């Protein structure tokens, strides 16, 4: 009983302290993983020493790793992996190989063994999927160019952990590395993995189908735990790690009809055990060692961030993305990942890592994770500073556009920034309506494939002046910003307004909170997805209650009218009629006072034949304090009336005579 109370006390202390720390970190907008690591440091033997049974915690932590990899396997979509295979394989493969090779070379320079040098390269090559994904989701940048590149590289990193784990026994071998041994190990592993995938593809869904037929939730949950832990045990017996087995069974289930239910059942267990894993990692950190070697650890942290930032930037450039995307990807991936902790524990068990190196790694990994949110937050500011630097032509990538391909005679056209779903749909409609347009896109593969189809699409960053100039932006009528990157949407609006004060700018945003700044920068129309989604929802709700279509459309019209008027009232305040001049090509809006003795005095608008003789239309008439909007033809003009007319700029002199005194 005493032992049970002691264990229970440990867990109460662990979860009590972690709740407080994670809550505090939530207020600072730092991801929970960092809070768990700090909790482990505090309750560990080197600080407060609260936990007595550390072995028990580590046992639970191993279960957490198994469940973590199982759920990650389920969350992977094989179809999505195949669709993004080029970006994942090229981007992820290039980054992992480049980082591993660089760190290995540095470690060899410091007289480390080849096995340890490569292993350190593995540890540094991995970044934190959990931290980066959470930050991207909160910022609404998962679909942005840098978000997509970051996620594809992270996917490859997560998959590469399988090969890295398999390499550990070879790296730790006292006989040294041999190509033959590595080759045989890889072939053996791939054979086992293939066998498990093929057998699991048919066996596991069949078992789950029988369980699901019972409609017993508890039985389904027990079945999922048995399958994940059982497969992990089988792969361990076959010579692979427990974690890899769990990942493989998750991958098998990812394409089955049971994946969503399985994920929802396992997630609560995963989160609890996963928190124990990171807490147990923090408990292993020796704070006295960290303080004694603070200067070395700071140097290692700076080196890791610099290496990963530069190599991730180079990788993104290699994929053909512009400099600002490369900078943001570099900042996002410049930390050590959670899988590095899994790998480090295996390295300790195999004798690859000694105590000193392990402690330096732990401290560096934890601190790089803590710094990551601040680096990503500072990304747009850093990128903006870098974008102001003039680079030599050979050093510039991603900001080019084929100058000779855009006709300088193109006028009154639409410039579309971004070729996602919105850009595609708009380009189809414009093409069908014979309205000239140009598309700017930063995904080189999309540009190449669509250009072959005859689309006027070019590779370039629409936030850069030089790129917009080559679209003949000065003579364009409309700019549509159809990207998901809030920071670069603002930059595009600002740059376009600078180059063409009269262009009409329409942009999309995710949240209404982003409206104010875009209107201040010069956007004319801002379409918030949040607002439009609410309209679509209530429209569908009403249709299910058989409300007539015309009534639904009337409601939609009213909501849009009042909603967008409210947005403009809030952010635009009042808009003068002279603002309209900026949005009409070769059209002017002017006011004329009816002078005594002029030809207009006593005449009706119909008698003056303004449109027929002069090419002008009367918009309004001001008579004292009264304003007549959209006046009809029978209204008569009197002395001192002020007439607001719209017409061609070339006819101003001619119509001025009509209202002049004694004309």
Average pLDDT, stretch 360-382?
A: 84
- Of the segments 117-121, 193-197, 500-504, 626-630, which one has the largest average pLDDT value? 117-121
Q: Domain coordinates of the chain in residue numbers? A: 2-385, 403-578, 586-659
Angle at 576 between CA 571 and CA 578, to 5 degrees: 130
Classify residue 636 by its DSSP letter.
B
- Of the segments 227-231, 280-284, 286-290, which one has the largest average pLDDT value? 286-290
Instruction: Return d(Cα 48, Cα 284) in angstroms, integer.
Output: 13
Average pLDDT, stretch 229-258?
A: 70
pLDDT of 639-663, one tens digit each?
888 888 888 766 776 777 788 776 5
pLDDT of residue 408: 56
Residues in the chain: 663
Of 251 and 157, the structure prediction assigns the larger pLDDT to 157
pLDDT of residue 105: 94
Of 177 and 15, the structure prediction assigns the larger pLDDT to 15
Residue for token pair 């570099």: 330
pLDDT of residue 404: 43
pLDDT of residue 384: 67
Of 373 and 588, the structure prediction assigns the larger pLDDT to 373
- 535: pLDDT strictly greater than 70: yes
Task: Strand 626-629: give its sheet, edge to edge.
Answer: 587-593, 642-648, 616-623, 626-629
Average pLDDT, stretch 180-194?
A: 69
Whether the Cβ atoms of residue 460 and residue 467 lie closer than 8 Å to each other = yes
Alpha helix (H) residue ranges in 214-293 = 217-237, 242-253, 259-283, 287-292
pLDDT of 387-445, one tens digit each?
665 554 444 444 444 444 455 567 889 999 988 888 888 898 888 888 899 999 887 77
Q: How high does pLDDT run on average in the chain?
A: 78
- 577: pLDDT strictly greater than 60: no
pLDDT of 141-154, one tens digit each?
777 778 888 888 98
Domain 586-659 grouped into CATH 3.40.50.720: no
First vs last C-alpha separation in the chain: 111
- 578: pLDDT strictly greater than 50: no
- Alpha-carbon torsion 614, 616, 620, 622, what sign? negative
pLDDT of 63-111, one tens digit each?
766 766 777 777 666 666 677 777 888 889 999 999 999 999 999 998 8
Give the SS3 label for residue 635.
coil
Lowest mean pLDDT among 151-165, 351-365, 561-575: 561-575
pLDDT of residue 649: 66
pLDDT of 579-631, one tens digit each?
555 455 556 677 888 888 888 888 888 888 888 888 888 888 888 778 888 88
Instruction: Return d(Cα 182, Cα 80) in angstroms, integer.
Output: 30
- 205: pLDDT strictly greater than 50: yes
Residue for token pair 């949950």: 221
Neighbours of 7 (CB within 10 A): 15
Instruction: Return d(Cα 403, Cα 496) in angstroms, integer.
Output: 18
Domain 2-385 grouped into CATH 3.10.110.10: no
- 292: pLDDT strictly greater than 60: yes
Lowest mean pLDDT among 182-186, 355-359, 379-383, 458-462: 182-186
- 570: pLDDT strictly greater than 50: no
87 alpha-carbon distance from chain centroid:
15
Whether the Cβ atoms of residue 239 and residue 169 lie closer than 8 Å to each other = no
pLDDT of residue 80: 66
Closest by CA position to 333, among listed 90, 124, 101: 124
pLDDT of residue 352: 86
pLDDT-above-70 percentage for the chain: 79
Instruction: Return d(Cα 10, Cα 298) in angstroms, integer.
Output: 32
- Alpha-carbon torsion 24, 30, 36, 37, what sign? negative
pLDDT of residue 403: 44
pLDDT of residue 354: 87
pLDDT of residue 53: 64
pLDDT of residue 377: 79
Average pLDDT, stretch 180-204?
A: 69
- 57: pLDDT strictly greater than 70: no
Closest by CA position to 419, among listed 476, 480, 471: 480
Task: Number of helices (H) and strands (E) in the chain: give both, helices first.
Answer: 27, 10
> Burial level of 370, CB count in 10 A (0-12/13-18/19+)?
buried
Q: How many CA atoms lie within 13 A of 318 on its CB side?
A: 19
Q: Which residues are CB-neighbours of 59 under 8 A, at least 6 positions away?
A: none
pLDDT of residue 563: 60
Q: How confident is the model at residue 573 (pLDDT cuts 50, 70, 90)?
A: very low
pLDDT of residue 395: 45
Neighbours of 210 (CB within 10 A): 10
- 39: pLDDT strictly greater than 80: yes
Token output for 173:
């071998």
| Topology of the domain comprising 403-578 | Rossmann fold (3.40.50)
Whether the Cβ atoms of residue 360 and residue 297 lie closer than 8 Å to each other = yes
Q: In CATH terms, are 403-578 and 586-659 the same topology?
A: no
């Amino acid at each position: 009983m005493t032992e049970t109370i002691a264990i229970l006390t440990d867990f109460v202390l662990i979860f009590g302290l972690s709740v407080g720390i994670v809550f505090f970190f939530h207020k600072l907008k730092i991801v929970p993983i960092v809070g768990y690591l700090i909790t482990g440091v505090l309750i560990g033997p080197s600080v407060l020493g609260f936990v007595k049974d550390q072995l028990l915690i580590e046992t639970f932590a191993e279960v957490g790793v198994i469940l973590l990899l199982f759920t990650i396997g389920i969350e992977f979509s094989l179809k999505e992996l195949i669709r993004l295979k080029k970006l994942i394989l090229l981007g992820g493969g290039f980054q992992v190989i480049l980082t591993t090779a660089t760190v290995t070379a540095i470690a060899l320079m410091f007289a480390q063994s080849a096995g340890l040098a490569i292993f350190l390269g593995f540890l540094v090559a991995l970044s934190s999927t959990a931290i980066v994904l959470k930050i991207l989701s909160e910022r609404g940048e998962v679909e942005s160019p840098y978000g997509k590149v970051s996620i594809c590289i992270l996917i490859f990193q997560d998959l590469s952990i399988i090969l890295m784990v398999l390499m550990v026994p070879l790296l730790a071998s006292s006989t040294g590395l041999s190509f033959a041994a590595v080759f045989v190990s890889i072939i053996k592993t791939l054979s086992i993995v293939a066998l498990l995938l093929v057998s699991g593809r048919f066996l596991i869904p069949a078992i789950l189908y029988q369980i699901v037929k019972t409609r017993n939730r508890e039985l389904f949950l027990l079945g999922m735990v048995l399958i994940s832990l059982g497969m992990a045990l089988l792969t361990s017996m076959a010579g692979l790690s427990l974690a890899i087995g769990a990942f493989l069974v998750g991958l098998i289930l990812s394409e089955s009809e049971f994946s969503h239910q399985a994920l929802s059942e396992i997630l609560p267990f995963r989160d609890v055990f996963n928190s124990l894993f990171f807490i147990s990692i923090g408990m292993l950190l020796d704070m006295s060692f960290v303080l004694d070697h603070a200067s070395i650890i700071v140097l290692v942290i700076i080196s890791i961030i610099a290496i990963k930032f530069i190599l991730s930037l180079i990788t993104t450039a290699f994929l053909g993305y512009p400099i600002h995307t490369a900078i943001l990807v570099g900042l996002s991936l410049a930390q050590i990942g959670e899988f590095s902790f899994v790998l480090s524990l295996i390295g300790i068990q195999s004798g690859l890592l000694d105590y000193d190196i392990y402690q330096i790694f732990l401290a560096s990994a934890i601190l790089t994770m803590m710094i990551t949110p601040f680096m990503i937050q500072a990304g747009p500011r850093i990128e903006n500073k870098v974008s102001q630097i003039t680079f030599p032509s050979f050093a510039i990538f991603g900001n080019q556009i084929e100058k000779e391909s855009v006709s300088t005679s193109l006028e009154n056209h639409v410039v579309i920034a971004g070729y996602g779903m919105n850009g595609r749909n708009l380009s189809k409609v414009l093409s069908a309506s014979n309205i000239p347009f140009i598309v700017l896109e930063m995904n080189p593969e999309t540009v190449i494939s669509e250009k072959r189809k005859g689309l006027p699409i070019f590779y370039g960053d629409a936030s850069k002046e030089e790129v917009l100039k080559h679209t003949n932006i000065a003579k364009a009528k409309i700019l549509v910003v159809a990207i998901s990157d809030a920071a670069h949407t603002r930059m595009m609006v600002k740059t376009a307004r600078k180059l063409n004060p009269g262009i009409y700018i329409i942009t999309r945003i995710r949240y209404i909170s982003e409206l104010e700044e875009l209107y201040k920068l010069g956007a004319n129309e801002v379409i918030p997805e949040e607002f439009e989604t609410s309209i679509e929802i209530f429209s569908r709700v009403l249709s299910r209650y058989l409300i007539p279509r015309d009534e639904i459309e009337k409601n939609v019209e009213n909501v849009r009218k009042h909603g967008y008027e409210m947005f403009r009232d809030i952010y635009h305040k009042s808009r003068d009629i002279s603002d309209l001049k900026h949005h009409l090509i070769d059209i002017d809006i002017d006011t004329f006072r009816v002078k005594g003795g002029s030809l207009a005095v006593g005449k009706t608008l119909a008698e003056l034949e303004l449109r027929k003789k002069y090419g002008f239309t009367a918009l309004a008439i001001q008579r004292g304090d009264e304003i007549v909007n959209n006046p009809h033809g029978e209204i008569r003009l009197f002395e001192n009336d002020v007439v607001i007319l719209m017409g061609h700029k070339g006819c101003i002199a001619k119509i001025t005579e009509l209202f002049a005194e004694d004309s």
